[in-house]
Chain A
Amino acid sequence: MIAMVPSRVSQLLIPVVMAAIFSSFASTAYAQGDEAPEKTEAKTAAAETAESDTEEPSGIRDFEKWVDGKFGRHVVGPLWTALTFDFGTGVPFVVGWLMAGAIFFTLRMGLINFRGFYHALRVTKGDYDDPNDTGEVTHFQALASALSATVGLGNIAGVAIAVGMGGPGAIFWMICAGFFGMTSKFVECTLAQMYRRVSPDGTVSGGPMRYLYDGLAEKNNEMLRILGLFLAGLFSILCIGGSLGGGCAFQVVQSMGVLKQQIPLFEEYGIIYGVIMAVAVGLVIIGGIRRIAATAEKIVPTMCAVYVVTAIIILITRADRIGWAIGEILEGAFTGKGITGGVLGVMVLGIKRAAFSNEAGTGSAAIAHSAAKTEHPVREGIVAMLGPFIDTVVICTMTGLVIVITQAYDTELFPAHKALIDADEGAKLTSAAFASVYPWFPIVLAVAVTLFAYSTMISWSYYGERCVTHLLGQRFSFPYKILFLGFVILGSVVSATNILVFSDIMILSMALPNILGALLLSGKVRAALNTYWASYKAGEFKTYNK
């Protein structure tokens, strides 16, 4: 047992080493990014804030600034440059890739996102739940678990950022991306079920890191097998990054924005919020307190309902403006008036924020959906389609409509909001929109936002841990969790812009390996869908009336 002691010490050192590797990787990318400085978007003026880079930090404020500067200069700026290279088309590569993938899948699967919708509702309701099927949880439970990771500040802050920067038209493109994203989600979750591994202890594990490798290895082509190995590894690394960005720091910085308006102490010292959140998350992911994790996740569907109802109340109080708002959304979508980049700019913003929110195409939710009890992979894929629908078509649209109807995005009417939009403080903008109807609505929002942030972080730490252990083995689970808590605190220190760009890079780039692999395997999914659909139409599936 003496060996336990150095072993624990080495585990604590690992996150430091991981962080060092991570930042050196980013610095290398920066050196490459330097060659094309004109491509760097104005938004990543992150580097500008790095002027105080070399100064020694003194006091909490200076420390926060110093960390932010470092993060912007060495991590965010260079990666962003590489990923958003547009080949002169005006569409950042990763956005075009996500959308092209979603449209291709939708056509290839014969519009399953529309024709499978009713069936998805019935399966989720439990009509087809056979208790003897292999897996861990029911279809509904798997969907709820996936949603707890998906529904978060992306739905509240991300939408506000999209409307603030791209005008009402961005909502139209978000909804479109939501509809097409349903099929991306269908494909990745079906694949996750097809290639999941059932352990002797009855648990299952699946996700892109499995199907990218096993699926391509199956094709009996050495090149494809190596490609699969590479894609699975790349996905795992990016998913770990995504869990630290969008699944963690982004949730902290945006929820903090809303809470700052209720609790002035956080305005003064944001890091206090970070520490409180880190303790709360640590209790679950390191302390292993299952009851808290279960409560936080199970409450998500209820919080979604509360949020949507609150939004609907706001819409009802301004019912006379709904027609006008829809007009603004449609007009903005096709004219892109007053927006840099015109229609294309609005479209890119909408698609990007939709993908960030519903994660369709990035493969993350496939990890949770692989746990569902079923012998039909296609069935869980069909259930998974409801994810982007609920997340984007319903919840994001609600946020968007509230912001348009209250005109919170209009900086001529509300000059104070310009600063929020410029600083990517999306959640604060949504809060302002809520406050304009009933002054106490931001309190409801603050509660919802904190719970969404918390449950999203817990679920994403699970995705991240799955990838860490897949890549490096079980022993790296603990160091990863320490690193994750570090990013919770980082989220309260680094500026919203740097966090947003970093999170975008990590989450959106997960789509590069995932969609490529899914494209190569889409024939198999199509064949499985055809067989399943034929049996379904022939009424061959047993139903369990509940």
Chain B
Amino acid sequence: MSILSPGCVLAPVDFSDESMAAVAEARAMVDDPAKLHVIHVLAVMNVAEPGIIWETIDDASRIEHATKALREKFADATIDVKIGDPAHEIADYAEKIDAELIVLPSHGRNALTRFLIGSTAERVVRLAHCPVLVLKPRK
């Protein structure tokens, strides 16, 4: 199986325009939409967040909301929501589903973080056990 026509592709999204575009690229690579896995990684909540203190939100409700948001955007893809550090979760998930390719944009949401500690994409390249396609913005 060539990476240009892979079996199972993982496209992580952070709901930025760039990541949405990356999903579209990934979609074009697979023959069956179910082979496209779209995941969103949520941050671990601070215990002093008002919603956690007053028990109006929890991890289950957050996953439910995020899953719904993903489902609205990507009706036929396989979707999942994780909680933790994005790069680690993406790499672990790719390993779990035996993904043959991870497709993601070079630029995510936070510009300053990228400048200081590198992008999530860079860390995914380092951590992943499969090929990673990093999409650069078109000039």
Contacts and interface: CB of A to CB of B under 8 A. Distances in A.
B56 A137 contact: yes
A461 B113 CA distance: 20
Interface string B106-139: 0000101100110000000011000000000000
Which of the four size classes fits the interface of chain B?
Answer: 35 or more
Contacts of A372: 50
Interface in A436-468: 458-459, 461-462, 465-466
A536 to B, nearest CB: 25
Interface in A129-183: 136-138, 141-142, 145
B49 A294 contact: no
B57 A136 contact: yes
Contact of A473 (B44, B54, B113): B113
Contacts of B49: 136, 203, 371, 462
A368 interface: yes
A289 interface: yes
Contacts of A472: 112-113, 116-117
Contacts of B42: 201
A372 B51 CA distance: 9
A142 B48 CA distance: 12
A469 interface: yes
Interface in A190-212: 200-203
Contacts of A142: 50
A3 interface: yes
B29 interface: no
Contacts of B61: 202
Contact of A293 (B53, B66, B85, B92): B53
Interface string B35-71: 0000010111111111111111100011101100110
B45 A203 contact: yes
A461 B62 CA distance: 22
A141 B54 CA distance: 7
B42 to A, nearest CB: 5
A146 to B, nearest CB: 8
B56 A136 contact: yes
A475 to B, nearest CB: 6
A293 B52 contact: yes
A225 to B, nearest CB: 13
B47 A202 contact: no
B85 A475 contact: yes
A48 B5 CA distance: 72
A523 interface: no
B54 A3 contact: no
B102 to A, nearest CB: 15
A188 to B, nearest CB: 16
B50 A469 contact: no
A427 B43 CA distance: 38
A465 B112 contact: no
A351 B63 CA distance: 45
Given A461-B48, A474-B85, A137 B54 contact: yes
A461 B126 CA distance: 31
A315 B49 CA distance: 37
Given A462-B46, A473-B113, A297 B53 contact: yes
Given A3-B127, A200-B40, A203-B57, A458 B48 contact: yes
A458 B49 CA distance: 10
Contacts of B62: 201-203
Contacts of B69: 200-201
A471 interface: yes
Contacts of B126: 3
A13 B88 CA distance: 19
A294 B85 contact: no
- 6 interchain residue pairs of minimum CB distance: A136-B51, A473-B113, A462-B48, A200-B69, A201-B62, A202-B65
Interface of B: 15, 40, 42-57, 61-63, 65-66, 69-70, 81, 85-86, 88, 92, 110, 112-113, 116-117, 126-127
